[in-house]
Chains A and B, each alone.
Chain A
Amino acid sequence: RTSTTRTYRGEMLTYYYNSRYRAKPLCYHCVESKFRVRLCVKCYFLILYNMGNKSSVMLDEQDIKALQADTGFSGSQIERLYSRFTSLDKGGSGSLSREDFLRIPELAINPLGDRIVHAFFKEGTDDRVNFKDFVTVLAHFRPIKRSQENKLNGRDEKLRFAFKMYDLDDDDAISRDELLAVLHMMVGENISEDQLNSIAERTILEADKDNDQMISFREFCTALDRTDVEQKMSIKFLK
């Protein structure tokens, strides 16, 4: 039973290994079930290595490199996001559940909180988010750089993300009901049902070019042509 503390980018993380070599936090490759921890090979060696040497990183160079290539984040940004990820991961399982997200107090009272959390979970797959998914979703909000390829964070991808907030059934169109649902969440009880209805009507009427009473993704983009989406949907991630 040993306990090691090391400085991880200015943050103190405590690693404790019990008789079963359980390490916390785990990297996102490792799987933890109720009784057993299956460590990936890297982590296994890492823990062995860590016992004698206190200066190594949980996310190794290769992981960071791969994520960097996929998402366009810098290495230090990924490390910072990783430490945020592990602090959200209360169970220490290496992945986040919906509850983990909604434990953030501000997010829980955000009117669109559920939708935002939902966007992190891919449909059909399991209901947990690993670190890679986490970073990939967040990459949508990287500021656009002219010198760089913008795979995930281009204007279209940003708009697609915003569009998905409305389009729950994934049919590539916002129906009147979907719009009303979001309106309900955002304005609360202050506005009467009639007014909400007429807002929804007007919004659809305004954007709907092909008269199908729905807003398709193309129509959505056209309606926001003059909005500075590049700026509005970007966050400066800390280095």
Chain B
Amino acid sequence: TVHHMERFPVIVQDFGRVETPFIISLWIFCACLGKIGFHMSPRFSKMFPESCMLILLGVIIGLLLFYTHAATVSPLTANVFFIYMLPPIILDAGYFMPNRLFFDHLGTILMFAVVGTIWNTLTIGISLYALSLTGIFGDMYELPILHMLLFSSLISAVDPIAVLAVFEEIQVEEVLFILVFGESLLNDGITVVLYHMFEGFSVLGQYNLIMQDYLAASASFLLVALGGTAIGIIWGFLTAFVTRFTKDVRVIEPVFIFVMSYLAYLNAEIFHLSGILSITFCGIAMKNYTTQNISIKSQTTVKYAMKMLAQSSETIIFMFLGVSTVHDDHSWNSAFVGLTILFCSVYRVLGILMLSAVANTFRVQKIDFVQKFVLSYGGLRGAVAFALVLTIDKDIIPAQPMFVTTTIAVVYFTVFFQGITIKPLVEMLGVRKSSHRKLTMNERLHERSMDYLMAGVEDIIGKHGNFYLRDKFKRFNTKYLTPCLV
């Protein structure tokens, strides 16, 4: 036989080498095209939120892939989500957080985020467990209460991405926005704790738990939330400090901001602390000082790069959410899905009513009926819940497929039903809209003098309120922080 020798080819085809990045880029390309198309037709873009369109597009792509068996990349894994896609969005939110508004309402936000999430988790979990005893979900699942609570802990957290996506479009007034959005950001700490707690408890088994475990879980809550925040603040100040010395190399200024806040996120994640809190507070802590340190051009770069990363990340998440829903091991249980959605909505409303009644006794500006309504209606669930449910180990918790399916159903319900109806409802109820504008010289001057005035009045009546604390911080800031960091 003549040895057939391959000559040097003119062209080779090697799709395998680039398959994954190629397909993913293609999807992102599709998502962006979809976005363009969506905004070209004003009728649709007025009626639906963008996130709905992206999920639908994802489902279509998923279906195409599923029936053609073209590729088997399952894009939205928990790791991809938590390590690559979540940080840009949260950094953007933290860096451009209206600090003053956020800290003015911090008490209320914390109450919603901490007490509200615990309330939702317990009530949803216990109600579902109680109903599961009646056999309403069929006898195929005999779920221990801990598994139910694990599920309810991930389903009860309000998702910052979904909230941002919907609320940026409807443009409600600042206070309402910061309440919903602040809650969705800060409840991450408690969600992470509850999730890991119930996961750990499930591994240990219901009957092996002793007092020590409960105490450890409560202690870990403080550690996760405060530790994450502290790491974020430290990295934020470090960033500010480093940018002091970048006068000669302006081009790398944005790099520091991005890389160091990402490091803050990863640093918190190393110890299973709350990465979201870490990167949020990193952004909040550094912003004032970095804007003074870096050039105006770098500021613009930071702004647009951050917005671009966050927007792309959000786009990809929603589309991947769509793609990931199409697979064949769904385990649909109508009663479970229906009741989960029902409990999520009902307990959210009850929780908000209760907590805002408590909050109102402390607040100058009361939360009125319309705000309560939007607060409870704005409790959207999203990709965080989905990513968390994917990380549940099937061997420990056999009901995981049902949980995944139910989570997807809840996410779809909140994003589609609540997302689509919230706009007309907000208009019907006459919720005040936000007005983004630059403050006039008069407003800036007089508002500043009012701050001093109010701080003074708080000193006189001997109350350590918001104005007093801000005044204290301002003094500390001008005396110690600013000279060090700027």
Contact = CB atoms under 8 A, between A and B. Distances in A.
Contacts of B461: 81, 84, 138, 235, 237
Nearest to A134: B460
A66 interface: no
Contacts of A231: 364-365
Interface stretch (A17-25, A29-37, A42-50, A107-115): A107-115
Contact of A202 (B364, B441, B465): B441
Nearest to A158: B450
B447 A84 contact: no
Nearest to B365: A231
A235 B364 contact: yes
Nearest to B363: A236
B460 A223 contact: no
B465 A112 contact: no
A233 B452 contact: no
Interface string B174-204: 0000000000000000000000000000000
B454 A233 contact: yes
Contacts of B269: none
A106 B455 contact: yes
Given A223-B443, A224-B442, A186 B449 contact: yes
B446 interface: yes
A165 B365 contact: no
A84 B201 CA distance: 51
Contact of A235 (B448, B451, B465, B472): B465
A186 B440 contact: no
B362 interface: yes
Contact of B445 (A106, A183, A235): A183
B448 A107 contact: no
B450 A233 contact: yes
A235 B440 CA distance: 25
A112 B445 contact: no
B460 A101 contact: yes
B440 A223 contact: yes
A111 B460 contact: no
A234 B465 CA distance: 11
B42 interface: no
A223 B468 CA distance: 26
Interface residues of A, number: 43
B115 to A, nearest CB: 20
A121 interface: no
B440, B442, B447 — which one has the most chain A CB atoms within 10 A of its CB?
B442
Label chain B's interface by main secondary structure.
helix
B327 interface: no
B297 interface: no
A182 B460 CA distance: 20
Contacts of B462: 84, 87
Contact of B463 (A202, A232, A235): A235
Nearest to A138: B461
Label chain A's interface by main secondary structure.
helix
Interface string A140-173: 0101000000000000000001100110000000
Nearest to A205: B441
A206 B459 contact: no
A107 B461 CA distance: 11
A27 B468 CA distance: 29
Contacts of A104: 459-460
Contacts of A224: 442-443, 446
A149 to B, nearest CB: 18
Contacts of A202: 441
B449 A165 contact: yes
B453 interface: yes
Contacts of B459: 104, 106-107, 110
Interface string B130-149: 00000000000000000000
Given A110-B456, A110-B471, A112-B456, A232 B450 contact: yes
Contact of B440 (A138, A165, A206, A234): A206
Contacts of A113: 456
B441 A162 contact: no
A116 B457 contact: yes
A1 interface: no
B458 to A, nearest CB: 6
A156 to B, nearest CB: 15
Given A199-B441, A202-B441, A206-B441, A234 B364 contact: yes
A203 B465 CA distance: 30
A104 B468 CA distance: 13
A71 to B, nearest CB: 13
B168 to A, nearest CB: 22
Contact of A110 (B450, B455, B463): B455
B446 A107 contact: no
Given A165-B453, A235-B465, A138 B460 contact: yes
A162 B443 contact: no
Nearest to A162: B450
B364, B446, B461 — which one has the most chain A CB atoms within 10 A of its CB?
B446
A107 B445 contact: no
A52 to B, nearest CB: 33
A214 interface: no
Contacts of B463: 235, 237-238
B442 A206 contact: yes
Q: List 3 A-B pairs, minimum CB-CB distance, nearest first.
A: A223-B442, A116-B456, A112-B452
Interface of B: 362-365, 435, 440-443, 445-463, 465, 467-468, 471-472, 475
17 contacts: A81-B461, A101-B460, A111-B452, A141-B454, A165-B449, A166-B449, A186-B448, A199-B445, A203-B442, A223-B446, A227-B446, A231-B364, A233-B453, A233-B454, A234-B365, A235-B454, A236-B363
Given A106-B455, A106-B471, 14 more contacts: A88-B460, A101-B460, A104-B459, A106-B468, A109-B475, A111-B452, A112-B453, A112-B456, A116-B453, A161-B453, A203-B441, A203-B442, A229-B450, A234-B364
